[in-house]
Amino acid sequence: MIIDVVLPSMLCLITVATVLLHFRFQNRIKSLFQESEFRVRDAAFMVTSMGVMVTIMAFVPQQAIQILFLAAYSFILFLFIYVAVEKWYVAVLPSAAFVYLYLYWWNLVLLNIFAITFAILVSLYLGGLFSWKTVAVFAVLVTVMDVVQVFGTGYMGASAEKMLQLQLPTLIIVPAFPAALKGYLGLGLGDVFLAGLLCIQTAQKHGRKTGISAAASIGIVFFLFEIISLNYPLGRYFPATVIVVGGWLTGLGFHHLLKFNRKQSS
């Protein structure tokens, strides 16, 4: 039986780190957005925009995608560092370093480092803007969009292949272990972002420990799914949002079950 522990572990650890960093920086990030909050229609618009971007990237020339991503990533990196240190001349250095490294010293290790950083930063920025209601709506809509773009249009796979060719940090790519496989396994940052967003909201509503438990649950369910997919191939691409949401619901269900048992015991 072929198994892999690296990618599920990475997903779990990144999500846990996102939850912990959220509590560290939530006040500064809230002040940046002036206590604003997404409504249901904002969540729907965000999912629609993501779906449109996936479709566009399947057709847009690679150079245009490269320029757009480098600009967006550099700005987000600058903004987060500026929120943390409040000194623009310090905040500009990581963005400049990213562009320089991408153009002259790029490799798989750097790709993963910046991909993980990007996923955490986006989760931190947007995590506090959602409410429990809007995050539920967002999770449903983004999962539906993912399924349609993977199995229906095929644009998700086409976009992912372009990103791989450009070596942009939009995926986490790691070697399988202990599976005796040649090559690497990858996970899109949208899936990592969704896991972080769901666990941030879970931590805000039910406590930090529950948020971390939800992250662990996502990692476990992802591990079990990988066992199936590695031994019984399901195709080149699969909408991992389904697995992330399934793992999150499993963790949430376990939390409510424990809570119910405690009430029964008391």
Taking all residues of the chain, what is their mean pLDDT, rounded to a whole number?
A: 88
CB contact at 8 A, 218 and 199: yes
pLDDT given for residue 35 in this prediction:
59
- Burial-class residue 47 by CB neighbours within 10 Å (0-12, 13-18, 19+): buried
pLDDT given for residue 182 in this prediction:
61
pLDDT given for residue 134 in this prediction:
92
% of the chain exceeding 70 in pLDDT: 96
Q: Give the whole-angstrom CA distance, residue 143 versus residue 76.
A: 25
Residue 33: which pLDDT band, with cuts at 50, 70 and 90?
low
Q: Give the whole-angstrom CA distance, residue 211 versus residue 20.
A: 9
Average pLDDT over residues 2-8: 89
pLDDT given for residue 176 in this prediction:
84
pLDDT tens per residue, range 12-24: 999 999 999 998 8
Q: Give the whole-angstrom CA distance, residue 136 versus residue 266.
A: 31
pLDDT given for residue 266 in this prediction:
67
How does DSSP classify residue 188?
A: E
Residue 243, pLDDT above cutoff 90 = yes
pLDDT given for residue 64 in this prediction:
85
Q: Give the whole-angstrom CA distance, residue 199 versus residue 211.
A: 5
pLDDT given for residue 194 in this prediction:
95
pLDDT tens per residue, range 115-144: 999 899 889 888 878 888 899 999 999 999
Q: What is the pTM of this model?
A: 0.90
Residue 60, pLDDT above cutoff 70 = yes
Residue 180: which pLDDT band, with cuts at 50, 70 and 90?
low
Residue 214, pLDDT above cutoff 90 = yes
